[in-house]
Amino acid sequence: MRLLALAVTVSAVTLAAACGANGQDAVRPGDPVETRAANAPDQQPAFAGQTRAPGVRTGVTMAHSVVASGLEEPWGLALLPDGRWLVTERPGRLRIITAAGAVSEPVAGLPAVDAQGQGGLLDVVTGPTFADDRMIYWSYAEPREGGNGTAVARGRLSDDGSRVEGVQVIFRAMPTYAGRLHYGSSLAFARDGKLFITLGERSDAPMRPQAQDLASHMGKTIRINADGTVPSDNPFVGRAGALPEIWSLGHRNAQGIAIAANGDVWTVEHGTRGGDEVNLDRAGLNYGWPEVTYGIEYRGVPINEGITAREGTEQPAYYWDPSIAPGGMTVYDGAMFPGWRGNLLVAVLKDKHIARLVVEGGRIIGEERLMTDLGERIRDVAVAADGAVWVVTDETNGKLVRLAAAN
């Protein structure tokens, strides 16, 4: 279960020149790690540091090791109490992998998935009462009459880990759509036992406006109880024409979510050519897509006349232009790298690294690129009990990799 503490204040970070070792990009003190030209150079951030924050460097020697390989497009990663990992493979398989790298046969009992495009078996988390009931939760592209849609199911992981039992679908994103893109699909439990789900707007131009439509789940963050019922304190409960599961709206395709001990919800989402966002995702707020955003269309023209701010919409805490293609996310609270406590760790697909973001007062004050020497698309990131960072790589020969302080 992702129960993650966000420190109130951030410990001092080292603004020192990096040598490029240990997969850390070399930067001069205070220079941003991003050096490429922006796709939308005329767009200006709403506040200082909203993009291209000062580069920081960890003053600890690190090394990564490949623990397991041969996975097919792994997507989600969740730690079991005994130190083993649940790992999803997008074609529809769930496996258990030990810290020594032993990979199980596929766990039986999961429902069928629609593994086209970006669809398939996606995220996985353990439930808040796993120690008592062994419940796990997973998201997937569900095949339906007339198309597909993001669904979330839960079931009991058998004592021997070979199967899930009593499978129950607890959430279905509506409407059904015959598409292949933008399922969103990251999961996280808050300390109060509420389950958060991120949903994409399905990408295609006719679907984009639904990110602003409270009668649609598309482009929303969802908050439900662990059994799929709706919490009575959700922001749109009782509002005519609004789906009560909705927590926030105006998202494009958030594939990462992390929740702090103080209840802060952080999400990270894909932009187009620029406009990847980190959001402090708050109840009832509108994060703008597709009416307000940074970056430009894939075909090179402005999005909605290039508007980046509008009354009634929230600014991202941070954005990237050009895009890095962010995947999963966690908040670091381990002992191995005490200077990282409260930092966001973002898995990066296109640019193939972990983005460490230093958080202070709800904003990002520093950025570091880690594991750049791995050279693979990093899909999800998690922290083990000893504070080491683990990732899965989104490749046909996907890997489970451990990043730790070097001895």
Instruction: Specify the amino acid at residue 143.
Output: P
- Region for 161 from its dihedrals, namely left if φ exceeds 0, alpha if ψ lies in -120 to 50, beta otherwise: left
**Distance (Å, whole) CA 306 – CA 302:** 5
**CA distances from residue 357 to 50, 164, 345 in whole angstroms, order as listed:** 12, 36, 6
CA-wise closest residue to 188 among 402, 382, 390, 399: 382
Q: Is-catalytic flag, 217?
A: no
What are the two backbone dihedrals, phi and then psi, of residue 337, each rounded to the nearest 5 degrees? -125, 75
- Residue 345 in tokens: 């760790």
CA distances (Å), 173 to each of 151, 183, 193, 316, in order? Answer: 6, 9, 20, 24
Phi-psi region of 269 (alpha: psi -120 to 50; beta: other; left: phi over 0): beta
CA–CA gap between residue 247 and residue 159 (Å, rounded): 35
Cite the DSSP H helix spans in 12-149.
Answer: 130-133
Residues linked to residue 55 through DSSP beta bridges, in sequence order: 367
Q: Do residues 382 and 330 make contact, with C-beta atoms less than 8 angstroms apart? A: yes
- Catalytic pick among 64, 182, 251, 353: 182
- The per-residue DSSP string of 110-177 comes to PPP---STT-SEEEEEE-TTHHHH-EEEEEEEEEETTEEEEEEEEEEEPTTSSBEEEEEEEEE-SS-B
By annotation, the residues acting in catalysis are: 182
